[in-house]
Amino acid sequence: MLDLELVRNHPEIIKEAARVKGIPVDVDAFLGLDEERRKLIQEVEKLRQERNDLSQAIPRLDPSQRPQALQRAAAIKKELEEKEPRLRDVEEAWRDLLLRLPNPPAPGTPVGESADDNVEIRRVGEIPSFAFPPRDHMELLELHDAVEIERAVKFAGSRSYILKNMAVFLEMALMQMALDLLRERGYTPMSVPVMVREEAMVGTGYFPLGREEVYHLQRDDLFLIGTSEVSLVASRQQEIIPKEELPLRLAGISPCFRREVGSAGKDVRGLYRVHQFMKVEQVIIAPADPELSHQLHMELLQNAEDLLQKLELPYRVVHVCTGDMGQGQVEKHDIETWMPSRGSYGETHSCSSFYDFQARRSGIRYLEGGKPRYAYTLNNTLAASPRLLIALLENHQREDGSIYIPPALRPYMGGLEVIQPRGPRATQKRS
């Protein structure tokens, strides 16, 4: 949600944000509704006050004056019966458009239409060069008897999977390593609810524009989260946080769910695009300071890079362009990790700054100079599986199908240095 004064006084900024982000929203229609809403509020409040004054005055009036007063009271009732429903309709349309207005990108954000226009910032690590035909992650998982797809699809539908044996422990190791990294850096670890009310989705900006990507539990009117960012931010909704507690650094771990609408035919093999996954998410709630927000944005980004470097995985960082940003983001960087089977980098992390966009929608404030002020929020993935699992398996495979475990991950794998194949294909040689 945006500052109304910004929208009213500088609508051209919002129109430009809508244009460069590719978000179809009628700013002029919103301004028209905004003006009508303010006018109706004044009229309705004035009528209600007059009605209240009359109700108190009528019993004390001279009998000769009462007919005229009662006549006026009846006229007020009729006017309110016309204006109050109109105000409700206008407010509903006004709020719907308000929730669709885009947050203007921060200065320096690349202007573009899609991910193809994102700007590469840096590449880190060497892309592996194999002296043998490398396997993709599905071949490796099958070699290790570590995945079941057909059985999962049988009872859970497409894009479902079962991890087993070494893959279970490897996924858990990645999550625990990520949590430990954040705990050591002052983040509060939190295991959060995955079913939330609609106001949590609206508050974090996933509704109304992203509703089609979210699973809805209709009987309970709850929604499955696509990231623990939703729960972490919502945990502070309608709170005034003591300023001395800011920046508030939170680390959420949860299963996550996405419908993957529009992905039919894309990434149908393997675990790159699935409906359910595990993730450790970083969230910061901070004072309203753009310079500090950028510093914290870089902190979140560095945390993710540090994890990838500990895992000895090659990656690149891209500055996300306007057309590939979300509605609320003012600054965004993606980290894409090399995946040999794709022959390219695949997105594994998204680092986003929102300024006060989420805080306004969620009612998250702090006191500054004795007055409440909306906070700033930021987030970034630290570890998401199975995508990180894909990169780990494919980059660290050996010719016999065994998997090298980087030293930083070994304490979480019981000291194991190499995972040896164990599946029915383990003894088969590959041509």
- Annotated active-site positions, please? 258, 273, 347, 350, 387
**Cα end-to-end distance, the chain, whole Å:** 58
d(CA 230, CA 192) in angstroms, rounded, equals 9
Distance CA 408, CA 262 (A): 38
Q: How far apart are CA 57 and CA 51, in angstroms?
A: 10
3-state SS track over the chain: CCCHHHHHHCHHHHHHHHHHHCCCCCHHHHHHHHHHHHHHHHHHHHHHHHHHHHHHHHHHCCCCCHHHHHHHHHHHHHHHHHHHHHHHHHHHHHHHHHCCCCCCCCCCCCCCCCHHHCEEEEEECCCCCCCCCCCCHHHHHHHCCCEECHHHHHHHCCCCCEECCHHHHHHHHHHHHHHHHHHHCCCEEEECCCEECHHHHHHCCCCCCCHHHCCEECCCCEEECCCCHHHHHHCCCCCEECHHHCCEEEEEEEEEECCCCCCCCCCCCCCCCCCEEEEEEEEEEECCCHHHHHHHHHHHHHHHHHHHHHCCCCEEEEECCHHHCCCCCCEEEEEEEEECCCCEEEEEEEEEEEECHHHHHHCCEEEECCEEEECEEEEEEEEEECHHHHHHHHHCECCCCCEECCHHHHHHHCCCCEECCCCCCCCCCCC
Tell me the Cα Rg of the chain: 27
Determine contact, residues 115/332, Cβ cutoff 8 Å: no
Q: How far is CA 137 from CA 74, 141, 212, 338, 426, in A?
A: 76, 6, 29, 13, 15
Answer whether 122's CB lies under 8 Å from 256's CB.
no
